Chains A and B, each alone.
Chain A
Amino acid sequence: MTETLADTAAGPLEHPMPRAAGCPFDPPPALMALQTDSPISRVRIWDGTSPWLITRHDHLRTLLGDPRVSADPTRPGYPHRTAGMKASDQARQTFLTMDDPEHARLRRMVTAPFAVKKVEALRPSVQKIVDDLIDGMLAGPKPVDLVEAFALPVPSLVICELLGVPYEDHDLFQRNTKVVVRRTSTSEEVLAAQRELADYLDDLLTVKRARPADDLLSVLATERVATGEMTQRHAAETGVLLLAAGHETTANMIALGTLALLRNPDQLALLRDAEDPKTVAGAVEELLRYLNITHSGRRRVALEDIEVGGEVIRAGDGIIFANDIANRDPEAFPEPDRLDISRDARRHVAFGYGVHQCLGQPLARLELQVVYSTLYSRIPTLALATGFDQVEFKHDGIVYGVYELPVTW
């Protein structure tokens, strides 16, 4: 038998690890190689523990759909992303970090506004947000940082509208969200940032309860907190989760996706000339597959011994699901390293898989469809205003992306 990469003399590979120089869209080559050599193997993470890394698309879906796999970070063996996340996950729990039936009970309280038709009804207001921001860019100086001027405000404005959070306060929640998703933040910093966000939303819930409006926080305040189904603190923490998840992820998809399209002008031209909304929708799925901004993976812990792919994952073992690598699995996507907006990429796992699959995905899809179908048609000469090798990538982020994207036209 040939020796696998994972049990060479050097011991398990580190996770996460840097990507190859010059190839910022592709997962790290050594981790990619695991998919063929040793698809279920141990990796070493920041705290010295060695959870399993799942890299194949079929294994990932099987295990993430398995109720013997727990999302509860308070269980021993759970592979935390960072010291900061460990502290915050243990300090407070939302449905994201619970198992069924509690997870299902709490998640059901916030699913209504994310139904496809309700999200679709927001299309005109999302279009207006996007158009106004582009007007602002075109009227202002160039070059401009696309992250600051466009990528971050779009999802931020949208999620604020949906939750009923005044956008004027965006400094407060963007500053704190940045701390939460930065891999180098200390536990104290993350806890303080989270507390500030939760206090802010707690106060807002009190206001909404007295004067409800047509938004999700008002629904939580009047229908869940007032009835005792949820504590106000839990509602506030759920609000923090939706607010943070709603803007960091989509913002990175917008900026990194723009860079990927600028690097693939043939694909950009296809998208720009697309008249059928299906082409745009397909392009969004492909960009979600190809970019995989959730490069720190989904984290779980086994509740029982589970046999999969010839290995036995023991009860109490930590598991990391490498969505980014699974989305490059040639068994699921032929020629996976090619960005091809005309392929059928719907089976991607960028939103995860199983009962925890992203709740906001219809909203993310809508925002990305409006952005990608509007940005390049309104600014056809959009171009990078700096060298590609000057762009700084969020290698240290829990969510991958670029820090800044200077563009001109």
Chain B
Amino acid sequence: MRVEVDQPKCVASGQCVLIAPEVFDQDDDGFVELLTDRPEPGQYDGVKESAVVCPAAAIRLAED
């Protein structure tokens, strides 16, 4: 699985950081930053949930 974030869309709600802190972080202004675009299989659930919960649809998942 590959993760992409569209930072200009992000509204800094912090939901992804709460759900999958190993994959997502926020910059100084609160906007999403990817820690890795290749999450471990154990992190897939959190990444998928983050993509669903993200209010701005700023998280996209792609199969390899």
Contact = CB atoms under 8 A, between A and B. Distances in A.
A201 to B, nearest CB: 22
B14 A362 contact: yes
Interface stretch (A75-83, A176-184, A347-355): A347-355
Nearest to A348: B53
Nearest to B24: A116
A108 interface: yes
Contacts of A119: 14
B32 to A, nearest CB: 10
Contacts of B15: 346, 361
B60 to A, nearest CB: 14
B31 A111 contact: yes
B34 interface: no
A355 B28 CA distance: 19
13 contacts: A108-B12, A111-B30, A112-B29, A115-B26, A116-B18, A116-B26, A346-B49, A351-B13, A352-B55, A356-B11, A358-B13, A359-B13, A362-B14
Contacts of A353: 55
Say whether chain B's binding surface is mostly helix, strand, loop, or mixed: loop
A71 B48 CA distance: 29
A112 B26 CA distance: 9
A365 B19 CA distance: 13
Interface in A1-17: none
Contact of B12 (A65, A111, A346, A365): A111
Nearest to B12: A111
Contacts of A359: 11-13
Interface of A: 65, 104, 107-108, 111-112, 114-117, 119, 281, 346-347, 351-359, 361-362, 365
Interface string B15-39: 1011100000010111100000000
Contacts of B53: 346-347
Contacts of A347: 52-53
Contact of B13 (A65, A108, A281, A361): A361
A230 to B, nearest CB: 15
A112 B19 contact: no
A107 B52 CA distance: 22
Interface of B: 11-15, 17-19, 26, 28-31, 49, 52-53, 55-57
Contacts of B31: 111
Closest 7 CB pairs of A and B: A357-B55, A111-B30, A115-B30, A111-B12, A116-B14, A116-B17, A115-B26
A115 to B, nearest CB: 4
Contacts of B55: 65, 351-355, 357
Contacts of B12: 108, 111, 114-115, 359
Contacts of B19: 346
B14 A112 contact: no
Contacts of B49: 346
Contact of A354 (B28, B29, B56): B56
Most chain B beta-carbon contacts within 10 A, residue among A116, A355, A362: A116
B37 to A, nearest CB: 20
Contact of B26 (A117, A358, A361): A117
B13 A357 contact: yes
B55 to A, nearest CB: 4
A355 B11 contact: yes
A112 B13 contact: no
A115 B14 contact: yes
